[in-house]
Structure 1
Amino acid sequence: MNNETILTNARLVLPDQVLDGTLLLRDGLIAELSPGRSTAPGALDLEGDYLIPGVVDVHTDNLERQVLPRSMARWPSVSAFLAHDGQVAVAGVTTVLDALCLGDLGFDESRLQTARDGIRDLGSLTAAGVLKTEHFLHLRCELPAIDMLAMLEEFHDDPHLRMVSLMDHTPGVGQYVNAEHYKKMRVKAGRTPEEVDNRIAVLTVQRERYAEAHRRAVLSLFEGRGIPVAMHDDWDAAVVARNAADGIEISEFPVNLEAARAAKAHGMAVIAGAPNLVRGGSHSGNVSVADLAREGLVDIIASDYVPPAMIEAAWRLTDVAGMSLPAAVATVTANPARSLHLDDRGRIAPGLRADLVRVREFGGMPVVQAVWRGGARIA
């Protein structure tokens, strides 16, 4: 049986350059890299398309969107997970962290069932070998939620866990630092103003009572375990300084320039959302990722809620921030792999996993043509 594949006539996006060249894949790894075309029989001609490393997505809520394709229309969990897997694969994502929420703040009760079902399905579907993409787990810990710690006790030692984030979605801080914007959003979604006011009052009390103790408990639980811990929606320099003092090394979706600048000053990796960049701004009124990128404040791009936005966002960085294509592609490949301590992927180099994406430009937009994971075609 021949375990070799030759990909030739490709524009290889390497860590420091774009090279017209050829890759030899063998036994799931990149065996050789060479400039120029191959004349070997059976070599696959990529017709001058780009070849980039497989995308590494540290945060996607896409599973939740498959579980609830419409309001009040819950989809069977395994079917939803398989649909999610297929969507991330065709988007060029070969490694994905399924971001699942622990803790109920009152308006998204179904997310807890999604988390329980998703963690179960991730394990069983991975064991069965039916997933196209390699899936890991990202636990999102809602600090003010009364039930968060109990759920975390269930799942903190899951073998697929690769990242943890601390969240606080209390109106008045973080993503919803503008409480009036939060209220308008909830009313628009069908809640009455009285319902929203009552919920804000309850959440404010819960935050005062539980958030600090829960924060200490989560940090203690993961201390020394080698699992990256991020803070979600940093909103000012003081919050970032405290995170740095507590050993948190990742700022996930900072909501303004002040927080992002502080995170970089403390040596943190900054994660930004691909949809923000592709849409041209934040859906919740927070800082534009383009503005962050222009100041050199973006290290990692995550899909957030649109997996196909990852590669398009990387391409856009070359325009909005003047980044080289290798540097821009690294925000969705090498940089997230490094942050997760996945040293076997994220770059095109001999000895690394043959996770690869063929990309063709159409009017300046990148279009995924083919995806390989471990040398095997998955899309």
Structure 2
Amino acid sequence: MTQDTILTNARIILPDAVIHGTLVLRDGKIAEVSEGLSHAPGAEDCEGDDIIPGVVDVHTDNLERQVQPRANARWPSRSAFIAHDAQCAAAGVTTVFDALCLGDLGFDQGRDQTFKEGVLDLTEMHATGLMRAEHLLHLRCELPADDLPGLLDPVADHPLVAMISVMDHSPGIGQYRDLPRYIAMRARQTSWSTERVQQQVDYLLEKRSRILETHRRWVLDRVAARNLPIASHDDESAEQIARNAADGIMISEFPVTMEAAKAAKAHGVDSILGAPNIVRGGSHSGNVAALDVARAGAMDIIASDYVPAAMIEAAYTSADIMGLPAAIATITANPARAAKLHDRGRIQPGLNADLVQVKHHVGLPFVRRVWRQGARVV
């Protein structure tokens, strides 16, 4: 029998309340939750800090940023994965959905390599038990990409695949619906002339008209037997939300308009908003502000998008609008539920002892300690 870990003198954020009390961890699970202080030998004083559930991040592109820390510098994949894991754990993220893109539209060369190497690295490293966070695969399917079926088919049945999203990053669509802005952005990124970018845009839109719907149906049919959570990406209209819901797509990642976010709420579709959008005070792409969606009662989940450290700060920022338990649930209980992970995300006896100790200083939350299944990892 393992020795109990007792955490006392903590402000414990429960699903529907906040108490000052004590937690007992045993055999990787939460064994007891109680109000008041423990005087048991070995009880650890949390000094009045918050204890929240371990963060569940259902969408992070952070691995891509470790693989390519500068525009012309590609980092060894496995080393990048180790750095990514450490950053997630230090941010209080105990469950990570590594969002890997499948499909190249001609502007993000190297993403397919990151996907292939990421799957291999995660498969190997998951088996070692050395990673601080638990990593799962979120496969982001770029529907207008020619190479999508050939990339997805070999990994669709991989045991670590825990979420699928369908997306369309075509110019003039969704996140990139401002076409002049898109062309200027791609010209800066590639050093191409505006005319050359426009030629690529014309090619992509013609191809989209031919293959997007075929690929969408193929992806949904290919993964249907696994009963995975499926998300759409960058929804902009109520019609898109309704169509997706009819096809069993019950998560909307980063809706780009208030119309889409409100429609998702009306259809019982979970809306994911980006933590950087909240911390920065708005979308870097000129889309709807996440805090405005929260004020409308339509924000269910916060994901790191591309900054794991933003998760906890974003949740506490949202607490002024939603109340603290509900705001913490956007990074814990709600993503766990949407991802069909019923053993985590809440502080409750019998669930995984995935926990984060948070101290507040000058208005910012600082992660002090992190436990995954009762073992301290930070």
Structure 2 length normalisation: TM-score? 0.98
Superposition pairs of residues 80-99 of structure 1, within 5 angstroms: 80-99=80-99
Is 1:357 the counterpart of 2:341? The answer is no
Distance 1:191 1:371 in 2: 46
Residue equivalent to 1:58: 58
Distance 2:327 2:125 in 1: 32
Distance 1:90 1:77 in 2: 20
Distance 1:201 1:286 in 2: 24
**How high is the sequence identity, in percent, across the aligned residues?**
61
Distance 2:170 2:264 in 1: 21
Residue equivalent to 2:344: 345
Distance 1:182 1:102 in 2: 21
Distance 2:20 2:314 in 1: 23
Q: Please state how far the C-alpha of 1:239 moved relative to its aligned partner.
A: 1.3
Q: Please state how far the C-alpha of 1:171 moved relative to its aligned partner.
A: 0.9
Q: Please state how far the C-alpha of 1:3 moved relative to its aligned partner.
A: 2.7
Residue equivalent to 1:70: 70
Name the stretch that deviates more: 297-306 or 363-372.
Answer: 363-372
Residue equivalent to 1:140: 140
Where 2:271 maps in the other structure, the secondary structure is strand
Residue equivalent to 1:209: 210
Superposition pairs of residues 118-267 of structure 1, within 5 angstroms: 118-189=118-189, 190-267=191-268
Letter in 2 for 1:282: S
Q: Please state how far the C-alpha of 1:191 moved relative to its aligned partner.
A: 2.8
Where 2:359 maps in the other structure, the secondary structure is strand
Residue equivalent to 2:296: 295
Q: Alpha-carbon deviations, 1:21-72, whole Å to 9, x = none? A: 0001001000111111100111100000000000000000000000000011
Residue equivalent to 2:322: 323
Q: Please state how far the C-alpha of 1:224 moved relative to its aligned partner.
A: 4.0
Cα 1:128–1:287 shift into 2, 3 Å: same
Is 1:304 the counterpart of 2:294? The answer is no
Distance 2:35 2:371 in 1: 21
Q: Alpha-carbon deviations, 1:279-311, whole Å to 9, x = none? A: 011111111001101001100000000000000
**Which blocks of at least 5 consecutive residues in structure 1 are unaligned?**
none
Letter in 2 for 1:216: R
Residue equivalent to 1:16: 16
Residue equivalent to 2:6: 6
Residue equivalent to 1:38: 38
Where 1:19 maps in the other structure, the secondary structure is strand
Letter in 2 for 1:24: V
Q: Alpha-carbon deviations, 1:230-279, whole Å to 9, x = none? A: 10000111111111111111111000001111111111000000000000
Where 2:47 maps in the other structure, the secondary structure is coil
Contact conserved, 2:356 with 2:369, CA < 8 A, in 1? yes
Distance 1:191 1:45 in 2: 58
What is the number of residues matched between the two proteins? 377
Residue equivalent to 1:28: 28
Cα 1:30–1:213 shift into 2, 3 Å: same
Where 1:154 maps in the other structure, the secondary structure is coil
Distance 1:2 1:163 in 2: 34
Distance 1:298 1:148 in 2: 30
Where 1:349 maps in the other structure, the secondary structure is coil
Where 1:276 maps in the other structure, the secondary structure is helix
Contact conserved, 2:2 with 2:27, CA < 8 A, in 1? no
Q: Alpha-carbon deviations, 1:169-203, whole Å to 9, x = none? A: 11111111111111121122233212210110111
Distance 1:178 1:302 in 2: 24
Cα RMSD (Å): 0.9
**Which blocks of at least 5 consecutive residues in structure 2 are unaligned?**
none
Distance 1:28 1:59 in 2: 25
Distance 2:199 2:103 in 1: 19
Q: Please state how far the C-alpha of 1:2 moved relative to its aligned partner.
A: 4.0
Residue equivalent to 1:368: 367
Letter in 1 for 2:147: D
Distance 1:235 1:34 in 2: 45
Letter in 2 for 1:125: M
Letter in 2 for 1:201: D
Q: Please state how far the C-alpha of 1:364 moved relative to its aligned partner.
A: 2.1
